[in-house]
Amino acid sequence: MRLFDNKLTVVGLFITISLVVLALAAPLIASHDPAQINIEEALLSPSGRHLFGTDGLGRDIFSRIVYGSRISLFVGLIAVGIALIIGVIIGAVSGYYGGRVDNFIMRFVDMMLCFPTFFLMLSVIAVLEPNIVNIMIIIGITGWMGIARLVRAEMLSLKEREFILAARAMGASDLRIITRHLIPNAIEPVLVSAVLGMASAILTESGLSFLGLGVQPPTPSWGNILMEGKGVLGVAWWNMLFPGIFILITVLGYNLLGEGLRDFFDKRK
């Protein structure tokens, strides 16, 4: 099966690439300064001058959404990167050594999975200052458990293969076997999990920002644009419609791409 045979995968890839281009080219694409306040143009409906209208402070919503894509992409990449590092290390150690080490680590993973993740984030943010750095770290350190389980399962399968036995017979250290032989051969499910994790991280950041516990104004993010638009929903529907659409399309794109990669790597197909 070729990756691009699935049309939904192509759609997902197009959406994710478009998001990256939008974020990188934000200064060229945005028609206005996202932080420029103009009370005289407050709550203008969508038009040629303001493609998505303006908010209660007269700021151009299209420009704020474009710059907000940078926050979403940055938070997603860093948060997933943190989760990957933690999950791969813990899963690799658990699966490779097995026995008591595996039992101890997996019970800890089960304990972490018992906590409602979103409420755990809210509790931590209530103690720490709500800013973009803390958001990325919190999302990352609460999202590694699934990756750890995937890597562990791959390790349990791979560590008895002939090439691993040969590496042991040649005197290779455990660290070398794990980093040079096992992890590279377990990368496929990790890649799928990372792509799906991007969607989850973006959605989580948007939810936290909507609650006022994420990225703080005046820095634009899709979540705080929604939060600011909530108070004027009755008279300026465009304040919530357009950032909501961008969140929906972005999360859908990453999910479609992730599912496409999962089917592509599935050896049974």
Residue ranges of the alpha helices (H) in 3-161? 7-24, 26-29, 61-97, 99-114, 117-127, 132-141, 145-158
pLDDT at 269: 55
Instruction: Name which of 13, 30, 36, 33 is nearest 69 in CA terms.
Output: 30
Q: Give the global pTM.
A: 0.88
Other beta carbons within 10 angstroms of residue 126's beta carbon come to 9
Specify whether the CB–CB gap between 158 and 186 falls below 8 A. yes
Q: Would you state the torsion angle of the CA atoms of residues 149, 151, 156, 158, taken in this order, to the nearest 10 degrees?
A: 160
Domain count, the chain: 1
Q: pLDDT tens digits, the chain, 269 residues: what are they?
A: 566 777 888 899 999 999 999 999 999 998 898 988 999 989 999 998 899 999 999 999 999 999 999 988 898 899 999 999 999 999 999 999 988 999 999 999 988 888 777 777 777 777 777 778 888 888 898 889 999 999 999 898 888 888 888 888 888 888 888 888 888 888 888 999 999 999 999 998 898 888 888 888 888 999 999 999 888 888 899 999 999 999 999 999 999 999 888 888 776 55
Residue type, position 211, single letter = L
Domain that holds residue 165: 3-265
Token duo for residue 79: 């948060």
Report the CATH number at residue 124: 1.10.3720.10
Give the distance, in angstroms, between the CA of residue 229 and the centroid of all CA atoms in the same chain: 24
